[in-house]
Amino acid sequence: MANGAGLDCPDDGLGFPPCGLHDLAKVFRPAADGGRMARSGLVDIAASQEPDGREVFNNIRYGVFVTFKAHNEYSRACFKQYGLLTDPSGWYASMWRPFHIIGLETSISVLSAVLRNEPTGSSKEFRGDAVATAKKDMQPGEMLDGEGGYAVWANAIPASISLAHAALPIGLAHNVRLKRPVKKDQIVSFNDVELLNDLDVVKVRREMEERFQPEPSVAA
């Protein structure tokens, strides 16, 4: 979303604020207007559980959403007339879909691009990066097992910060051996792992880094 829609990731990574459908427009608005986002123009994820493990009422575990602000009074009035989920002010609204079948949607996108030359979307900027982040303290010799595994998880941070830390993308964190100790919640870097630089996928990553030099995030 960040790279395809010209949005940014939070400087300190995703916040995962717990939120149900009824509060999307209230939580995912700028902090200056009472929300949980540092500013406008950011991406984040709604957690479906509270920090103590309780299920969030009316959560959006399997769905996707977008929150936006009306640019004039007419648009604000339309939010109410058409029954959108709004914050108390009525200026912020959310639209949501209760399902996100990514495992099936991805294959359709790949086949459409390869067979019909029809991309689902085209990222024109390198603004965000999903980087491998340690789930636990790890020692040299331990193996990273990729997204959904026991060693690392993917956190979305600004691409400019990712490159400054030589962060390892989550897509390159599968079946990779550590050569330096890593602490829990630490971003894993290229320098922390044994990775063959002549692999095609690593070459593609390096080419992308050189071609799309991200600009530092700025307040919208």
Res 215: pLDDT:
62
The per-residue pLDDT for range 1-25, each reduced to its tens digit, is: 899 899 999 999 999 999 999 999 9
Do residue 140 and residue 197 come from a single domain? yes
Do residue 75 and residue 141 come from a single domain? no
Determine, yes or no, domain membership for 104: no
pLDDT confidence tier of residue 218, bands split at 50, 70 and 90: low
The per-residue pLDDT for range 168-209, each reduced to its tens digit, is: 999 999 999 999 999 999 999 999 999 876 678 889 998 988
Determine, yes or no, domain membership for 118: no
Do residue 70 and residue 6 come from a single domain? yes
* Spatial distance between the Cα atoms of 212 and 127, rounded to a whole number of angstroms: 9
Determine, yes or no, domain membership for 93: yes
The per-residue pLDDT for range 139-157, each reduced to its tens digit, is: 999 999 999 999 999 999 9
Three-class SS state of 187: strand
Domain of residue 138, CATH code: 3.90.1210.10
Res 220: pLDDT:
44
Q: For the chain, how big is the Rg over CA atoms in Å? A: 19
Which range, 72-76, 108-112, 192-196, has the best average confidence (pLDDT)?
Answer: 72-76
Res 172: pLDDT:
94
In the chain, % of residues over pLDDT 90 = 81
Residue 219: pLDDT over 70? no
Residue 123: pLDDT over 70? yes
**Last residue of a domain, which of 82, 97, 112?**
97
DSSP secondary structure letters along 74-95: HHHHHHHHTT-EE-TTSSEEEE
